[in-house]
Amino acid sequence: MTSAPDLTAITVRSVPLDAPGSLPSRLPNGPVFSWVSEGDGLVGWGELTRYEWTGDDAAAGAAAWWRDWCRTVRVHDPVGLPGSGPVAFGSLAFDQRTSSSALVVPRVVLGRRGGHSWLTTFGADAQLPPVGTFAPARQVSYADGALGPDQWGAAVAEAVRRIRAGELHKVVLARDLVATTSPAVDVRSLLVWLAERYPSCWTYCVDGLVGATPELLVRRRGNRVDSRVLAGTSWRGLESDGDEAAERWLMASNKDLGEHEYAAASAARILASYCSELHVPAPTLLRLPNVSHLATEIVGTTDGEVSSLELAGALHPTAAVCGTPTDTARDLIPKLEQMERGRYAGPIGWVDAAGDGDWGLALRGAQVDGARVRMFAGCGIVAGSEPDRELAEAQAKFVVMRDALESRDSA
C-alpha cells in the first residue's frame, strides 16, 4: 500500500544549524523517528508519505519506489552529507512473507554528523523545536507474553532436540514480555534515556518500534559497506567471579563460538555477492552496560549501485536472528515461539537519495502502543544450548527496555 500527496510543489531543503544538543530531546509530539549513536544521526517527525509492502522480494520494490520518489521532488541541499536532503526511515518485518514492512518519509528531519548539524524540511518551512521534558511512566506492571518461562524453556529443549536430530544447525528463539504503564508511554522519554545510557548502540524508532540495538546489519557510504555481526552473549551474574570471568568464559565457549560462526558466515556469504572485496576478521568482544557479545566487524567494497535498503533486504534474515539453514529455521520459529514477531528482529534504519544509509536489527526493543509495551528478547539455540541458561540470557536482554520504562529520571 502506498500513500502519496501531490508532489509537484515539494521542495526538500536542508539548512545548516548550530549544535542542537541531544537530538531526541528536540522531538515534538506526534509520529517520531530516530536513528542516533554517539550523539550523531537523524531524528524526524510528522509523516508526509509512506510505502508499505509484504513479500520476500519487496525491499527491492521499496528501493525502486524511493528512487522514483526522490526524482519527483526538488532538492536544495548545501549540507551535502549522508542523511541530508531527502531521507526515509524504514522498518522491515522479521518474516516479510506474513507481516508488513514500511518506508516512511517524515515532514522534518534533524541531523548531526561529524560536528555538522542541519534541519531538513519537506515542502513546508519548520522551526527547530525547543528542548523538551518528557514525563516517564509512573507505574509499570508486567505479564508474560505468548509463553511463560517454563513453556519457553520447553520450546528451547524441543529446538535442541531437532538440532541434534539433524533437522537444522541453529535457530533463534525469542520470547515477549508485556508491560502496562500508567500513564501511556511517551516514546520520546524512552529515546532520550536510551541514547544517554547506551550511546554506542543505535537508538531507533519507527512506527512505535523503539529500542537501542547493538547490531548494525549494514551501512553504505558510497562504495564502502560495513556490517557488525553479534552472536554469543555473556552477562552479569553468569559467573560468580564477575564480568571478566564471564567474558573469558564467552571467548572460550565452543557453543557460543559456534553460534557466532554461523551468524558471521551467513552475513559474509550474502555480502560477498555484492562486493568486489570483503574483509571478515576474527571475532572480538563488544562490551555493553548489561551484556557482552562476540562481534565480527565486516568491511566490503560494493560493485554497482545497490542501495543500503536493497542490501538490508538481501541480508535479512541472517543466522544472528533466524538460524541455519534459513528457510528451515524461519518456518520452525513461529511453531516454537507461538507468537507473531511483527517487525522485531527485522531491519530498521534510514536511506537517503544517494542510497547511503544505516540499517540495524530491531533488537533490545519494544513495540509501543499507548499504555501497552510489548518487549522482545531472543537467544541463538544450538546443539549445546541449555534451557535455563537461555532463559537467563533472555531475561538479561529485557533489562534494556525494563530500565528505560522504570526510570524516573525526567528527560
- As annotated, the active-site residues are 170, 215
- Residue by residue, what is the 3-state secondary structure of the chain? CEECCCCCCCEEEEEEECCCCCCHHHCCCCCEEEEEECCEEEEEECCCEEEEECCCCHHHHHHHHHHHHHHCCEEECCCCCCCCCCEEEEECCCCCCCCCEEEEECCEEEEEECCEEEEEEECCCCCCCCCCCCCCCCEEEEEECCCCHHHHHHHHHHHHHHHHCCCCCEEEEEEEEEEEEECCCCHHHHHHHHHHHCCCCEEEEECCEEEEECCEEEEEECCEEEEEEEEEEEECCCCCCCHHHHHHHHHHCHHHHHHHHHHHHHHHHHHHCCEEEEECCCCEEEECCCEEEEEEEEEEEECCCCCHHHHHHHHCCCCCCCEECHHHHHHHHHHHHCCCCCCCCCEEEEEECCCCEEEEECCCEEEEECCEEEEEEEEEECCCCCHHHHHHHHHHHHHHHHHHHHCCCCC
Set of cell numbers at residue 213? 540495538
Among 46, 22, 47, 44, smallest CA distance to 35 is for 44
Alpha-carbon gap, residue 270 to 267, rounded angstroms: 5
Set of cell numbers at residue 45? 517527525
